[in-house]
Amino acid sequence: MAEYAAGRTPIPCVACNRVLKFDLLLRRAEALGACGVATGHYARIAPAPDGDPGLFRPRDLAKDQTYFLFDVPRAALERIAFPLGELDKSAVRALARELGLATAEKPESQGICFVPDGDVRGALARLRPESPRVAGPIATREGEVLGEHSGAAGFTPGQRHGLGLSGGPWYVAEVRSAENTLVVARAAEMYASVAPIDGVSWQDGAPPAGPVRAAVRYRHRTVSARVRPEGDGRATLCFDEPVWAPAPGQAAVVYDAADRRVLGGGWIAAAG
């Protein structure tokens, strides 16, 4: 919630995987004498070009969850199993029915687990009632005030709904939490050719030197890109074609040029 209040767009599923599932849970498994942990993520672990385990997209690309796993340490892959990685979702449901599992017909989960209705701003009000929701301006990058919001926290770059502006469509281009201002722009202004990222982690221990594919949102089409290392855990992604509204706090995930293996990534540090 602190990230939302700061005007960023966090993605807690990544931290949940890295810290809870594939750190604390792995340690617990070791303490119990288990050989590892198996989860229901749609991803695959297979030999990488160097022969060690690598993280790859699953067979069912429509359910691909590798975006949320980009910073799981490579050393942990030896003790992780993803049994669903070679199955389509329809086959998984068929197996569940055959086994009489109550989850066989369970609806697809969507969004953040602790914000099931997708109302981030409502969740902020419930979980952080002490946080002020103060009205502020909605303005263009040139400073023209177009309207007023009831609290900037919870808005994200690329968002269109909830602005209440005439003469649209307008999109959130930037959330300036310190100024309590939403900056909006037209669609043509929302694309970015570069994205600075920090907190980077690379499966091979170093940033990839050649062409890669990169995604700045879950389930968004990857684009061809190159990684420009900046030092101190930072890098810049340079896209061959502009991407829509990179949002500070979201993950930028890097795949190999074949768009199959996860090479790593980082956290978008600034709006494009």
Active site members: 16, 113
Environment class of 135 (CB within 10 Å of its CB; exposed 0-12, middle 13-18, buried 19+): exposed
CB–CB of 172/158 below 8 Å? yes
Dihedral over Cα of 25, 28, 29, 30: its sign: positive
In the block, residue with structure tokens 């982690």: 201
Q: List strands edge to edge, sheet with 136-140.
A: 145-149, 136-140, 181-185, 171-176
The count of other CB atoms within 10 Å of the CB of residue 272 is 23
CB–CB of 163/170 below 8 Å? yes
Residues 9, 24: Cα–Cα separation, whole Å: 25
DSSP letter (8 states) at residue 126 = H
| Structure token digits, residue 157 | 């770059």
DSSP letter (8 states) at residue 205 = S
Residues 136, 151: Cα–Cα separation, whole Å: 7
Cα–Cα distances in angstroms (integers) from residue 106 to residues 43, 65, 83, 137, in the given order: 20, 18, 19, 43
Instruction: Fill in the amino acid letter for 217.
Output: R
CB–CB of 16/60 below 8 Å? no
